[in-house]
A and B are shown apart, each in its own frame.
Chain A
């Protein structure tokens, strides 16, 4: 493993630890709360529409 890769892994671990600290200290960093702040940001992209998209991708036949 070269120096850059080691540095990358180190920074990733640091980011994870600092991220954990942020999540622990700030209750606004909960998935439900964050999701609420994004209610007007591309609301059409959600679990429901993605499931539909996935089904379409796998099973939908081309028609006109």
Chain B
């Protein structure tokens, strides 16, 4: 037996073992999902278990004569062993990852350290990535070498290296509070750089007394920053010294004040360093976001540079909502366990020299830069950004609008380097080998080395590493072991998957990992079946109603894409035919009657109609042609190679849509780019040629430069860059065409939210697909093993009845989801028959507002396409900010508005202040709270006026939902106690409260009720207010705390919707919530803050209530402990 046969034999035995190793890791994730993964995997546990069962069944179904071995007891044992090894491996790895983050050396032994060092920390380490430069910041990945946590001690001194100081002496005659005092001539002094508790807050009296003790009636020295003397309240900002004691620092050291960071003050705030931790071995990485500062915008550090960073290390953020993005899981899968943010200033990030580097990686990054320089010289902007992205993975610089259009079109995947791009590069390399007649072994070696360099050059992302590994393995099996293409693909998938998962099992739940393998799986297994139906079916019906009409739809849409793309963007075409610039955009050419309003869940009418029109065109042409006695496509096998190739391409596309895009796109992204099906028919070949031309130009330039360097003749380099210019000049036209096409489709077809595949429907989908693919084999197996088949069928039926028909077990509970929308309110109430949304969260940046990124995906996840009721409890921006987005995407039957709602769409700003009785702001109308209020109300009024739904302004207490669930009454009512006038918070005091009652449990939701409204509620409703769960009013501000109200409600659980917002809408700092939290806790009430625990999901049933939080209790405790540590 020669070596080749031995390897093949080894592979034959290894493949099932590896399959079961992968299945074992899947089961490991499912078992361990409670602690370390999000509730996503908890939900999909059944899918993973079923997948492993499927793999097990496949071992029976797969053909014996092909690569898989004959079934035997010995092999069964090996299979089980590999499965258990997979589980063991995952649990072991997961355990390490879940509790520990960075590896440190202590007395010659390694230990793991926690990275949640929220205080400032000094990190020394080497940059191990090519900096990813974005519009607003640069991301670098650092391999830490030394970490020095700084103790929580402050020294406060004006930084005289950056500014000058004035020194004055005076006598303090009055202390106002913990950080403010007054001199004998009445000048108020504000202690610089610190913030003591306000009057009424805990420790406020202690701070005031401390300051009195230290400075009252004493001569003090005031250190004042020369260029920033007064604060906005005309108080002198100073560091106060009594003799040699720094009073500001003493307040901090005694825990009576906190450090306050004002960008205008130049102070040195930290003193000594903590104990040094030396990190050794294969430790976790740190991702640093470096923010730019004016005058030093561009980052000149690169791979291999040794740097010092002074900034707090933090844990990456976990998913905080039911359908949120788990950033921590994403980074952990890439070996990153801590994040930090620094300013691009020497005191925060400093270059120290050359660190530990790998010359090979350094060379790859050098080549990457060389290639980008060629693009910068030969391709104009913005096409250069596009080409840099698709060839080298430089994602910075692609304009946001282009990115959005790509997303809407469903071709965004071309911007992120993936297996597709690696495939084009591999194809290019193979063609180059063909031209130079390089065969088998040498070809395998050269292509593998080149692909490895390519993977490193493009940042070694999991996607490129994975695909490069697959191509290299595939090439080995195909070239060296001389296996058939089909066998090569089958073995490659499993070897690549198991080897990647062996080193990093946490990649298994990754979207890119699953999507990429499922795409290859679809090409290998589904595409031949589709091809068989489309190309080799003898049925006339298939020809007439499937193959030809499908061909017509695709050709028609492709033609529109190409023409649209060329007309819209290709400069040279517009130059030659200037009249084309006069044409309106293609999507505007359709008559108005054709423009149907967006349907609730899928896509624009014209797109749908156009597809149908093409489809019927196909049928009619086919039918008319067959009337003449001939079939248009009688036998596909007689078609020319070009058309056969085209139909094969169509089959591959259809297979990818069936096997990956349709079921999994909705699972991972809650959206399905419907136009992607058509757009990809042009996008994939076009991008292939763009990538290959880009690389050819870059390689020619590099080759000529190299020859020029060796020979010393500069002219050779000039020739190289000019050839690259010629190639890229044409490539630019192709890029323009691609961008034009994306623009056309982006405008033409919106990017809809679609119903997400549930775990049950996924099982059903893939089972049907499996039966279609392996129909013949299943038939053979059933004939051979009749009894076993019946048993398996029965098992599947039992499983099916239990999992696939959840509607048999009718829901008997009410779910109340308190979203984590940052600073704002949004609560979803889900009963068995109704879906009610209370408030829509704060406004936010386009494409990333909480309504868009939190509420919509969650509604989609719960399969909610329409809302029965939307209640807007208050007119504050944090309650109505997402209304336009929600109502646009989720048709709503009825909208309840607070009694003080006025249509202000025709008001001026001053009219609004006057009509809303905002007397408090009349004298100072330019406060951002009130401008934000007006803007959001104006937008809401304009939208509501046109919106087609029943609108109701609440003037009295009303019951909005009344149904019987599980024999008990569920009532949801809006409480309105009438107008409360002339208070300092008119909007809050006229807001609505919502009360849910189910069996003996109640939930009270007084979103923005101010103290006055709370008093009225107490006096009017008294014991009727009593509830088990209370939403803390006014996002937890201590000013809205009313002990009488809380005692009357007497909740067991208080939920506070609080968090960060980048909108200036009355946001307040966490220190304003802390007193509220401690007051609730002192009354024995459990207090959950959404910025700590994420969304809270409350389940109400006939028995009682229970709740879960998106961030686990363990995480929450770590966070609390860290804060307490900082306080102490």
Contacts and interface: CB of A to CB of B under 8 A. Distances in A.
Nearest to A53: B366
B731 to A, nearest CB: 7
Contacts of B306: 64
Interface string A1-42: 110110011011001101110110110110101110110111
Given A23-B729, A34-B378, A47 B373 contact: yes
A49 to B, nearest CB: 7
Given A16-B730, A19-B729, A22-B729, A31 B355 contact: no
Contacts of B572: 22, 25-26
B354 interface: yes
Interface residues of B, number: 54
A62 B396 contact: no
Contact of A22 (B369, B435, B696, B730): B730
A42 B396 contact: yes
B377 A5 contact: no
Contacts of A62: 354-357
A61 to B, nearest CB: 8
Contacts of B733: 18, 22
B99 to A, nearest CB: 31
Contacts of B362: 56-57
A34 B380 contact: yes
A39 B394 CA distance: 16
B359 interface: yes
A15 B730 contact: yes
B571 interface: yes
B376 A44 contact: no
A41 B384 contact: yes
A3 B355 CA distance: 49
B1107 interface: no
Interface in B369-396: 369-370, 372-373, 376-381, 384-385, 388, 394, 396
B133 interface: yes
Given A26-B575, A57-B363, A62-B354, A37 B381 contact: yes
B372 A15 contact: no
Interface class of chain A by DSSP:
helix
Contact of A1 (B298, B366, B373, B434): B434
Contacts of B728: 19
A12 B696 contact: yes
Nearest to A3: B641
A49 B611 CA distance: 52
B133 A34 contact: no
- Chain B contact residues: over half helix, strand or loop, or mixed? helix
A14 B307 CA distance: 49
A48 to B, nearest CB: 11
Interface string B301-318: 010001000000000000
A19 B373 contact: no
Most chain B CB within 10 A, of A11, A35, A64, is at A64
Contacts of A29: 380, 725, 729, 732
Contact of B721 (A1, A2, A31): A31
A54 B709 CA distance: 12
Interface string B5-27: 00000000000000000000000
A38 B370 contact: no
Contacts of B693: 12, 15
B132 to A, nearest CB: 11
A64 to B, nearest CB: 6
B646 interface: no
Given A25-B575, A26-B572, A35 B377 contact: yes
B1073 interface: no
A26 B571 contact: yes
Contacts of B370: 50
Contacts of B276: none
A61 B370 CA distance: 22
B725 A23 contact: yes
Contacts of B388: 41-42
Contacts of A49: 300, 369
Contacts of B576: 25
B110 interface: no
Interface string B345-357: 0000000111111
A2 B433 CA distance: 12
A34 B300 contact: no
B380 A37 contact: yes
A51 to B, nearest CB: 11
Contacts of A37: 380-381, 384
A22 B383 CA distance: 15
A19 B726 contact: yes
A31 B373 contact: no
A38 B431 contact: no
Contacts of B435: 1, 5, 9
A24 to B, nearest CB: 10
A38 B384 contact: yes
A57 B696 CA distance: 24
B727 interface: yes
A2 B434 CA distance: 8
A29 B729 CA distance: 7
B359 A38 contact: no
Given A22-B730, A53-B366, A43 B357 contact: no
Contact of B376 (A15, A28, A41, A60): A41
A41 B1053 CA distance: 53
Given A42-B397, A62-B354, 10 more contacts: A1-B435, A22-B729, A26-B572, A34-B376, A35-B377, A38-B377, A44-B300, A56-B354, A57-B362, A64-B355
Interface of A: 1-2, 4-5, 8-9, 11-12, 15-16, 18-20, 22-23, 25-26, 28-29, 31, 33-35, 37-38, 40-47, 49-50, 53-54, 56-57, 60-64
Interface of B: 133, 298-300, 302, 306, 352-357, 359, 362-363, 366, 369-370, 372-373, 376-381, 384-385, 388, 394, 396-397, 431, 434-435, 571-572, 575-576, 689, 693, 696, 721-723, 725-733
16 contacts: A12-B696, A15-B727, A19-B731, A25-B572, A31-B377, A34-B378, A34-B379, A35-B377, A38-B380, A43-B298, A44-B298, A45-B376, A50-B369, A57-B359, A64-B306, A64-B352
**Lowest 10 A-B CB distances belong to which pairs?**
A19-B730, A19-B726, A19-B729, A22-B729, A44-B298, A37-B380, A37-B381, A38-B376, A15-B730, A18-B730
